[in-house]
Amino acid sequence: MVFSSITFLFYFLPIVLAIYYIAPKKYRNLILLISSLLFYFFGEPKYGIIMVISIISIYFHGIWIEKAKNTKYKKIPLISGVFISIAVLFYFKYFDFLIENINLWLDKKIDLFGIILPIGISFYTFQMISYMVDVYRGDAKVQKNFVKLATYISLFPQLIAGPIVRYTTIEEQLENRTYSFEKFSLGIRRFVIGLSKKVLIANILGELVKVFGTYNDGTVLFYWLYAIANMLQIYFDFSGYSDMAIGLGKMLGFEFLENFNYPYIASTITDFWRRWHISLSTFFRDYVYIPLGGNRVSKIKWIRNLLVVWFLTGLWHGAAWNFIIWGLLFGVLLILEKTIFKNIIEKIPQIIKHIFVLLIVMISFVIFSGNKMEDIIMQILGLFGIGTAGVVSTVSIHYLKSYLIILLVGIIGSTPLIKKLAEKLENKFPKIINIAEILLIMALLILCTSYIIDGSFNPFLYFRF
């Protein structure tokens, strides 16, 4: 079940919200847990058992970690819990990838297992790890109420594609949440904005990306259309899902942390990763980079730490070499940015830095979305006119005209311009803007519903993670 589906929008969500608010507060976590399990089992009934078993394992490991805290064996339960969580993730996500590489490098012919990746396993695995580590460190209290812990891990708004919600973020909220009409209405607004990003922008841009995959006329313009559309689609798809998750959280009384902060206005690679997929970046910082020593070590070890983090960041996104290369590319760029080019970057005009970051990010997402390395190299070279069939063609001009408006909407929408304009108008005409906002949200919901009913192209890119 996806958020941008009729089943979710007009059946599952209204029923869950109605039962949730009718029930006494002491039963709301249980209702959320049951609803979340139904949400997950609806799409993946047999793999739902894996998640339930994982939750049971983490529950008892958390209690074990707490009991062993003041003993010389205190690391054993933590190592056990983290190992089991990573082992399950490794089997489902990377085991076939390992076999493929053994076959390739050692010239073997081992049959693949054909393992299907359970949806959302990368996200809820990281949440379980953060819980155990935080209990071990003393940053969080062990949760002895099974329903509350299971609710945290399986919470349907962020279960499938994040953001990665840490236990410490909602520890208190599992006990006490605030409810208000204003918070609920803000949740609706945020959800509809996210839905619109997904349905009205990402899906339409995805159609252009799909065209490139089936029909590539080999011109420079066509390569650029693909690269820009792909870059925007990934942003609006994932940030749209994060907006919907945050909005749903508000409707249910939760406050999730932001996951995106206009990353395409960044002027350095460092700044980009402070703005892009914030929950993943901070997870690797706090649970991998800092424990390895962070930057408080020798330069060689610091470089090692960064490369380890970015290797894992790439690998987390998928079991394929293009993801690993994508992650290591950013690792190398960050190292160069913080060392050799540090003083040079400070002297470069802001607009030049911004254009450079956009170019690097655009190329990185060509790598990210590619399949075969030879195709990826051809696509990148094609952006610069190498090995192309010319600059433009009637086909590329046709697709430029057809998708120009949505490309412009995507470019403008990826900046804070609309938000700043809305804030200025709200300060000058508060009553008019409040009414206009309600009408706009209603219109967007109707428009999204129409597109969902009429269209069949409705993928969530981050489901594969």
The residues annotated with a catalytic role in the active site are 317
Torsion, CA 351, CA 355, CA 357, CA 362, rounded to 10 = 160
d(CA 217, CA 215): 6
Assigned token pair, 219: 């011109």
60's torsion region: left (phi>0), alpha (psi -120 to 50) or beta? Answer: alpha
103's torsion region: left (phi>0), alpha (psi -120 to 50) or beta? Answer: alpha
Q: How far does CA 44 lie from the centroid of its chain?
A: 20
**Residues 277/301, Cβ–Cβ less than 8 Å:** no
d(CA 295, CA 136): 23
Torsion, CA 323, CA 324, CA 329, CA 332, rounded to 10 = 160
Please list the helix, strand and coil fractions of the chain in percent, rounded to the nearest 5, in that order.
Answer: 75, 0, 25
Place of tokens 């190398």: 332
Place of tokens 């508000």: 250
d(CA 245, CA 7): 17
**Residues 331/315, Cβ–Cβ less than 8 Å:** no
d(CA 166, CA 177): 16
**Residues 378/223, Cβ–Cβ less than 8 Å:** no
3-state secondary structure of 295: coil
d(CA 243, CA 185): 14
d(CA 207, CA 221): 17
Q: How far does CA 275 lie from the centroid of its chain?
A: 12
Amino acid letter for position 223: Y
Q: What is the DSSP letter of 139?
A: S
349 preceded by a cis bond (ω within 30 of 0): no
372's torsion region: left (phi>0), alpha (psi -120 to 50) or beta? Answer: beta
**Residues 97/114, Cβ–Cβ less than 8 Å:** no
